[in-house]
C-alpha cells in the first residue's frame, strides 16, 4: 500500500500556545484501526520522546493522565507513561522526516477536503485533536467516510473539544457518568470486563475480549455525540497494559 503524508496544520496549540504540527497519512497497516487516514500531532521544536520526558507533550496531550511523569534524566520517555502509542515508532519517524523537510504542506478547505475524501479519518492517532483548531478537522472530514476522535480536554476552555466530534476519554465510572449527564459519549479504559456499565456502555468490538470482530475503519462508533449510540469501554491493552490497569484501578 502506498503511503502519503502531508502537513495539514502548523501553528499554536490551543492548549498552551506552543507551536505544533499536524501530519496526515493516507494508508496504514494498523491492525486495530484498519486502513484509516492517520493523524499525528507533535511539537515542532522537540522530538516526541524528549517532549514526553520533559513534560512538553502537555501542548499536544493536555491533561491526559496516560502521559506519565516528566523527569530530568537524559534518555527515554516520561516515567509510568501508560499511553498505548509507542513514541519511538511512527511519532518519532514522522518527526524526523518533518524536520528534514520531507512533507509538503496543504492549506485551505478544498485541499484538506480532497485529501480526506472517501477516507475514515483517525483524529489524533497520536496527540489530542482538541489542541488543533476545529476548522482543520471539519475540512479534512467534510468529504470523508467518517472519523474517530477522543479527547481528554473536555472542560479546558481554550481547547476545541466539541463533544459532537469527540468521544470524551475517561478513566473512571464517576467521570463517565458526569460526561453522560452533559450529553457526551465516553471512551473508557477499564481493568476488567465486569466494569462495563450495562445499558450505557458496550465493549469495543475490536478488542481481544470481543474476538477482534471489527476494526475502527469498519466500526466507526467512536465519532462522539454525532452518533446516537452507547459509550465504549475497552480493557487496558497494548505495551502499556500494566501501567494503564493501575491507573484505571486506582
Ligand atoms: S468502538 Fe469501534 S471505532 Fe471505537 S475503538 Fe472500538 S473498533 Fe474503533
Calculate mean pLDDT across residues 50-59. 98
Q: What is the pLDDT of residues 27-47, one digit of tens each?
A: 767 776 778 999 999 999 999
Q: Which atom of ligand 1 is nearest to the CA of 219?
A: 2
Residues whose CB is less than 8 angstroms from the CB of residue 248 and which lie 6 or more positions away in sequence, other chains included = 171, 172, 188, 189, 190, 191, 236
Closest CA to ligand 1's atom 7 = 216
| pLDDT score, position 220 | 96
What are φ and ψ of residue 208, in 5° steps? -55, -40
Q: What is the pLDDT of residues 178-234, one digit of tens each?
A: 999 999 999 999 999 999 999 999 999 999 999 999 999 999 999 999 999 999 999
Q: Ligand 1 pocket, 186 CB below 6 A?
A: no
62 and 124 Cβ atoms separated by less than 8 Å: no
Q: Ligand 1 pocket, 149 CB below 6 A?
A: no
The rounded mean pLDDT for the chain is 93
pTM value? 0.92
Q: Ligand 1 pocket, 36 CB below 6 A?
A: no
Q: Ligand 1 pocket, 83 CB below 6 A?
A: no
Distance 206 CA to ligand 1 centre (A): 6
Is residue 62 over pLDDT 80?
Answer: yes
Calculate mean pLDDT across residues 6-33. 91
Closest CA to ligand 1's atom 4 = 222
| pLDDT score, position 84 | 86
Q: What is the pLDDT of residues 83-111, one digit of tens each?
A: 989 999 999 999 999 999 999 999 999 99
| pLDDT score, position 35 | 85
Q: Ligand 1 pocket, 233 CB below 6 A?
A: no
Q: Ligand 1 pocket, 167 CB below 6 A?
A: no
Distance 136 CA to ligand 1 centre (A): 22
Q: Which residues of 46-56 are buried (b: 16+ CB within 10 A; e: fewer)?
A: bbbbbbbbbeb
Q: Ligand 1 pocket, 27 CB below 6 A?
A: no
Q: Which atom of ligand 1 is nearest to the CA of 167?
A: 4
User: What Cα–Cα distance (Å) separates residue 166 from each residue in 3, 150, 205?
Assistant: 26, 5, 18
Distance 35 CA to ligand 1 centre (A): 13
Amino acid at each position: 500500500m502506498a503511503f502519503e503524508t502531508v502537513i495539514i496544520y502548523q501553528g499554536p496549540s490551543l492548549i498552551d500556545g506552543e507551536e505544533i504540527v499536524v501530519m496526515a497519512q493516507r494508508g496504514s497497516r494498523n491492525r486495530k484501526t484498519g486502513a484509516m487516514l492517520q493523524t499525528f500531532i507533535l511539537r515542532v521544536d522537540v522530538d516526541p520522546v524528549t517532549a514526553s520526558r520533559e513534560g512538553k507533550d502537555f501542548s499536544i496531550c493536555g491533561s491526559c493522565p496516560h502521559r506519565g511523569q516528566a523527569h530530568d534524566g537524559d534518555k527515554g520517555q516520561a516515567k509510568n507513561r501508560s499511553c498505548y502509542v509507542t513514541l519511538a515508532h511512527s511519532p518519532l519517524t514522522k518527526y524526523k522526516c518533518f524536520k528534514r523537510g520531507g512533507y509538503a504542506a496543504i492549506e485551505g478547505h478544498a485541499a484538506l477536503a480532497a485529501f480526506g475524501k472517501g477516507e475514515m479519518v483517525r483524529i489524533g492517532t497520536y496527540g489530542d485533536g482538541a489542541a488543533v483548531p476545529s476548522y482543520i478537522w471539519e475540512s479534512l472530514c467534510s468529504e470523508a467516510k467518517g472519523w474517530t476522535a477522543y479527547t481528554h480536554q473536555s472542560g479546558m476552555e481554550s481547547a476545541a473539544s466539541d463533544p459532537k466530534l469527540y468521544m470524551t476519554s475517561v478513566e473512571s465510572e464517576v467521570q463517565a457518568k458526569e460526561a453522560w449527564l452533559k450529553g457526551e459519549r465516553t471512551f473508557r479504559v477499564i481493568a476488567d470486563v465486569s466494569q462495563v456499565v450495562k445499558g450505557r456502555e458496550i465493549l469495543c468490538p475490536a478488542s481481544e475480549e470481543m474476538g477482534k470482530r471489527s476494526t475502527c475503519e469498519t466500526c466507526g462508533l467512536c465519532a462522539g455525540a454525532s452518533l446516537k449510540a452507547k459509550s465504549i469501554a475497552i480493557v487496558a491493552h497494548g505495551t502499556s497494559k500494566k501501567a494503564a490497569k493501575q491507573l484505571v484501578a486506582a
